[in-house]
Structure formats: C-alpha cells, structure tokens
Amino acid sequence: MDLNVTESFLLLLTEFLTFMPRLLAALVIFLVTLYLSALLSRLLQRSMERQRADPALTLLLYHTVRWSVILIGGITALRQVDFELTGFLAGIGILGFTLGFALQDISRNIVAGMLLLVQKPFDLGDLVEIEGFRGRVQSVDLRSTEILTLDGNNVLLPNGHVFTVPIINYSRESTRRIQLTVGVAFDSDLEVVRHTALQAIRTIPDVLNTPPPSLFFHEFGDSAIMFTVRYWIDTRVTDAATAVDPAILAIHKAFERKQIEIPYPIRTHLQRVVEQQVAGSKKQVAGGE
C-alpha cells in the first residue's frame, strides 16, 4: 500500500518536473507576445502618424496588429504545453456563435465600425448629418460614432445604424450652394429686381464667381412675387450655416437704395385695416350720442 502511494507520488513529481519547463516556456512566449504586440502596434501607429494617415484607419490597423500578434502568440504558447487546440477552437467557435446570437446588436456595431473605418464615408472633423443630427465627427470606435452637434451636444450613434442610413457629408466637397428665397411687391420691375439682387450677392467677399450666382422667379404668393437667389461658397473659407446672413443684409440694403418693396403679408395688412375701421365706427357712434 505504502509502496503504491510512493510510486504514485514519484510519478506525479516526475510529470510535474517534466511539465514545468514547458509551462515556463509557454509563459515566457506569452509575455514576449504581449510585449511585441504593444511594441509593433505602437511603431505602426507612430509611422502612420508621421505619414499623416487617416486617424480612423490608424486606429483600426493598431488594434488589428495588436490582437493578431496576441492570438498567434497565445496559440504558440498553448502548443508548448500540448494543449488540445482542435477541441478548444471548436469550443470557442460554438461559444462565439452563441455569444454572437445573444449579442447580435453589439456584434453588428463592431462589424459596422470596422467597415466604416475601412470605407471612410467621413473623416474626423468632417461636418456631417446623420439621421437629423448635424455636427462634426469627433471619434469613430468599434462600437459607436461620436458627433458634436452645432449647438454643442455630444451624440453617440451606434455604428450598425450609421452604416445603414444615408449620410450627408458637407466637408467632402469644398464648395456648396446656398439659396435664399425673397418676395417683392407685385408692381416691382422684375428685371431691376433681378439685377439689383445679383449685384448685391456679387459684392459679398466669400461668394464664388464660378459657378456664378443665379436668380429665378417661381411663384405668385399671397402678397408678393417670390424669387430664389442661388450662390456658391467655399466651405474652407466660410461656414454654410452663417453664409445666409451677409446675403440678407446685402439684398436688404440694395433694395432700400432702389426703393424695391419687400411687402408685408396681405393678411396682416387687412387685419390692421379692419381694426382701424372698427375704431372709426366706435368714434362715430360715440360722437352721435
């Protein structure tokens, strides 16, 4: 009995001493892998930053290189201890399928984030509009896209949603067309109106000469003849959100000089006339009394 116990202990001790070098080798390989993954990914990141590569693409490659090195090193370390990789990988596959089904929204966001980083429908700092949110792109990670709206709010949009909805990128093109609708009185000389409005627009410093400003009349309104003036700006020089202000000021001043009337709505005018007539009637009744 004691002999069997002694033999079993010696057998376990022998197996342990035989296993220890392989275990130490596996630990050393894994630690070296962690160091190399951090070193290589950091070198890649610095190299791409020196080349002024896209920050989103740099982030994607950084994580790809890091986790690829860790995966290869982890498999190599497991082989040192005769770990059964086939069954392990099969189990990982089943677990991955189960987790992917249970966390399909998160998985979809991660995949969509990778596709957004590769396809690059926008860059960091671009002015975009996604699902009614207009602002500048602050960051794109594997889960969400962060936008700083024009009124100062931070919006996090899931990548799975961003990837499937229309995206308006105002920064992709350097020029943008602005249009402004104005009304003039029915008795106005429309050719004078056209000439005056276009001349006023051309005096604005940030308006481009090519394509030239244009104007067309399009509607007989309730109290005015409506026209729309269109002009182009360079978005690298001026912001589209504030490009309407100088146009309104220029047209208003030019119309005042040419005595071109921008009429009030007829409904407002009739209301004032009716109020005056009612007030006059009351005075007459009081005087008669």
For residues 229 and 191, membership in a common domain is answered with: yes
For residues 164 and 182, membership in a common domain is answered with: no
For residues 186 and 251, membership in a common domain is answered with: yes
For residues 14 and 68, membership in a common domain is answered with: yes
Q: In this model, does residue 286 exceed pLDDT 60?
A: no
Would you say residue 40 lies in a domain?
yes
Q: In this model, does residue 20 exceed pLDDT 60?
A: yes
Which residue among 129, 145, 169 closes a domain? 169
For residues 165 and 219, membership in a common domain is answered with: no
Per-residue pLDDT band at 108 (split at 50, 70, 90):
confident
Q: What's 34's domain CATH number? A: 1.10.287
The greatest distance separating any two alpha carbons of the chain, rounded to the nearest whole angstrom, comes to 138
pTM above 0.75, yes or no: no
Which residue among 113, 145, 169 closes a domain? 169
Q: In this model, does residue 178 exceed pLDDT 80?
A: yes
Would you say residue 13 lies in a domain?
yes
Q: In this model, does residue 270 exceed pLDDT 50?
A: no
Strand partners, 232: 177
Would you say residue 206 lies in a domain?
yes
Q: What's 250's domain CATH number? A: 3.30.70.100
What is the tally of structural domains in the chain? 3
Rounded mean pLDDT of 243-252?
Answer: 91
Q: Would you tell me the crossing angle of helices 244-258 and 190-202 to the nearest 10 degrees?
A: 130
For residues 132 and 63, membership in a common domain is answered with: no
Q: In this model, does residue 31 exceed pLDDT 60?
A: yes
Would you say residue 286 lies in a domain?
no
Rounded mean pLDDT of 194-199?
Answer: 94
Would you say residue 152 lies in a domain?
yes
Given CA atoms 168, 171, 174, 180 in this order, what sign does their dihedral have?
A: positive
Would you say residue 288 lies in a domain?
no
| Structural domain harbouring 157 | 121-169
Rounded mean pLDDT of 30-56?
Answer: 81
For residues 197 and 256, membership in a common domain is answered with: yes
Q: H-helix or E-strand containing 158?
A: strand 154-158
Q: What's 164's domain CATH number? A: 2.30.30.60
Given CA atoms 13, 17, 22, 24 in this order, what sign does their dihedral have?
A: positive
If we measure between CA atoms, which residue out of 262, 182, 248 comes closest to residue 216?
A: 182
11-20, 24-33, 55-64, 93-102 — which is least confidently predicted? Answer: 93-102
Tell how many helices (H) and how many strands (E) occur in the chain.
8, 8
**What is d(CA 60, CA 158) in angstroms, rounded to the nearest whole number?**
17
Only one residue has tokens 């912001």, namely 239
Residue type for position 139: S
Would you say residue 271 lies in a domain?
no
**What is d(CA 70, CA 96) in angstroms, rounded to the nearest whole number?**
18
For residues 242 and 260, membership in a common domain is answered with: yes
Would you say residue 238 lies in a domain?
yes
Could you tell me the CA-to-CA distances from 233 to 137, 167, 181, 205, 248 in Å, in that order? Answer: 22, 21, 17, 10, 15
For residues 142 and 185, membership in a common domain is answered with: no
Q: What are phi and psi of 104, to 5 degrees?
A: -65, -35
For residues 37 and 70, membership in a common domain is answered with: yes
**HSE, side-chain direction, 13 A CA sphere, residue 138:** 14
Residue type for position 150: L
Which residue among 169, 186, 201 closes a domain? 169
**What is d(CA 65, CA 30) in angstroms, rounded to the nearest whole number?**
16
Q: What are phi and psi of 178, to 5 degrees?
A: -115, 140
For residues 180 and 158, membership in a common domain is answered with: no
Tokens of 287: 């005087």
For residues 222 and 158, membership in a common domain is answered with: no
